[in-house]
Amino acid sequence: MIKKVLVGIDTSEQSRAAQSFAFYLARRFNASVLGLHVIDIVSIEGPFFHDISGSLGLEPYLDLASRMREAMSERGRALLEAFALAAGREKVHVETILDVGVVPNQICERAKLADLVAIGHRAREERFSTGLMGSTAESVTRRSPRPVLIACGPFREVTRPVLAYDGSPRASKAMGAAAEFAASLGVPLTVVTVARDAKLGEQVLGEARSYFAGHPATVSFELLPGHAHEAIVGYLKAHDCDLLFIGAYGHSRIVEMVLGSTTEYVLRNSPCPVFLSR
């Protein structure tokens, strides 16, 4: 049961979508929200140390870094104040934290205090980086000790959630989260399994049917042909789905570098928010 949602706060549109999602879940689950803004220590110390300290000496560098940190702290406090005011308008109980450190590290550390982490698909500082998902989001999804909701695009209420189920232990955890959401939000859930062998696919779907037998949620089941990563994203786009539940990464990082990962592909290409269960 979700009782506290940690949301990462920055100035990006994606962060605002994550904030809206956190408020929405807080209202529906009677939960509180913990707003976190991290002053990125790498932005302060990394470039300045290498580019300035060598030519100007240590003292000017320390003075510039100090002023930079103060300015970023002031901006962070303003962001959190605006976040708290928005929560008040939504009648949601919130707490705020201003941290200094490596952004994904601090998010994962603070995640221990929550039941769910909500972050934007890409931070403002990463809007010109390569790939479709920011490095912060990717790092958090791999390392967070709690489930992660990756928000993208403008927020909209959940009416067409989908569970991607492959029979793995991680997918089973995602199934539990999807069942809780569907029942609590009063929306129908679609369970999809992708298999090129129809018989094997029906066996996997049979497991899901057994799980949901007698469950209060309204659930439908679909077997999709093709490759899992493409079939899942294609289904989300074709049916205008608004939330996907999926299990966390199933391989080691080294294996994924060589073979790829269904989870990673879906996270990078999903047209809707993704709830990553672990």
Predicted confidence (pLDDT) at residue 166 exceeds the cutoff of 50: yes
Same domain, 130 and 230: no
| pTM recorded for the entire structure | 0.86
Q: Cα separation of 97 and 108, whole Å?
A: 14
Select from 151, 170, 205 the last residue of a domain.
151
pLDDT of residue 138: 87
Predicted confidence band of residue 249 (pLDDT cuts 50, 70, 90)? low
Tell me the average pLDDT across 100-111. Answer: 95
Predicted confidence (pLDDT) at residue 127 exceeds the cutoff of 60: no
Same domain, 137 and 165: no
pLDDT of residue 53: 45
Tell me the average pLDDT across 162-180. Answer: 93
Q: Are strands 148-151 and 116-120 parallel, antiparallel or unpaired?
A: parallel
Predicted confidence band of residue 188 (pLDDT cuts 50, 70, 90)? very high
Predicted confidence (pLDDT) at residue 106 exceeds the cutoff of 90: yes
Tell me the average pLDDT across 119-127. Answer: 65
pLDDT of residue 43: 72
14 in a domain, yes or no? yes
Is pLDDT larger for residue 196 or for residue 87?
87
If one counts the domains in the chain, the total is 2
CATH of the domain at 246: 3.40.50.620
pLDDT of residue 153: 83
196 in a domain, yes or no? yes
Is pLDDT larger for residue 62 or for residue 204?
204
Q: In the sheet that 243-247 helps form, which strands lie side by side, from edge to edge?
A: 94-101, 32-40, 4-8, 116-120, 148-151, 274-277, 243-247, 161-164, 189-194, 219-224
Same domain, 205 and 133: no
CATH of the domain at 36: 3.40.50.12370
**Residue span of the structural domain in which 27 resides:** 4-151
Establish how many alpha carbons lie within 13 A of residue 167's alpha carbon, considering only the half-sphere containing its beta carbon.
12
Q: Are strands 148-151 and 274-277 parallel, antiparallel or unpaired?
A: antiparallel
What DSSP line would sit under 217-276, residue for residue?
A: S-EEEEEE-S-HHHHHHHHHHHTT--EEEEE---S-HHHHHHH--HHHHHHHH-SS-EEE
Is pLDDT larger for residue 123 or for residue 216?
216
Q: Cα separation of 236 and 200, whole Å?
A: 22
124 in a domain, yes or no? yes
Select from 151, 177, 206 the last residue of a domain.
151
Contact of 275 with 174, CB cutoff 8 Å:
yes
